[in-house]
Amino acid sequence: MSRNTETVNTYLDGFRTGDHAKILSCLTDDIEWTVYGAFHLTGKEAYDAAIDGVGFVGPPRLEVVRMVEQDDVVMAELTGSAIRDTGEEMRMSMAEVFVMRDGLIAERRAWVIELKENDFR
C-alpha cells in the first residue's frame, strides 16, 4: 500500500471513530475541503469545526467500495450512513477525491448523494 493510500485509510478510520486528532494528523495546515452543493472551507481549524457535521450525531459508518491512486491523487468510492440529530438514518453514496502533498491530504473534494429508496436512488 502506498503512503498516500495509507494516509487516506487512516483518515477514514478517524472519521469512523470520531477521532479528530487522527483526522487532523492526516491533513496539511492549508487543507481545503469542498462538499459540492453544501460547503467549502480552508484550514485545519475550520476543518476541525466541521468534522462532526451540523445536524448529525456520532461518527458515520463508511465502507470503501474501491480506491484508486494516480500520482498525488487518491480517489475513493464509498457507501455509508450517518445518524441525524432527529434519530433518522441518512444512507449515502459518496465519491471522494483526495489531493495529496508530501503524504498528507491537501485538498478533499466530495460528492455526497443521499439514498432514500434503495442502493442507487
How do residues 41-83 score in pLDDT, each as one tens digit? 999 999 999 999 889 999 999 999 999 999 999 999 999 999 9
Beta carbons of 113 and 92 less than 8 angstroms apart: yes
Would strands 27-35 and 39-42 be described as parallel, antiparallel, or unpaired?
Answer: antiparallel
- Tell the residue number behind the cell numbers 485538498, with chain if given: 107
Pairing of strands 56-70, 73-84: antiparallel
Cell of 75: 480517489
For residue 50, the 8-state DSSP code is H
How many other β-carbons are positioned within 10 Å of the β-carbon of residue 26?
22
Please give the class, per CATH, of domain 3-115. Answer: alpha beta
3-state secondary structure at position 104:
strand
- pLDDT tens across 75-115, in order? 999 999 999 999 999 999 999 999 999 999 999 999 999 99
pLDDT in the model for residue 41 = 97
Grid coordinates standing for 33? Answer: 475541503
> Per DSSP, what are the bridge partners of residue 65?
none
Rounded to two decimals, what is the model's pTM? 0.95
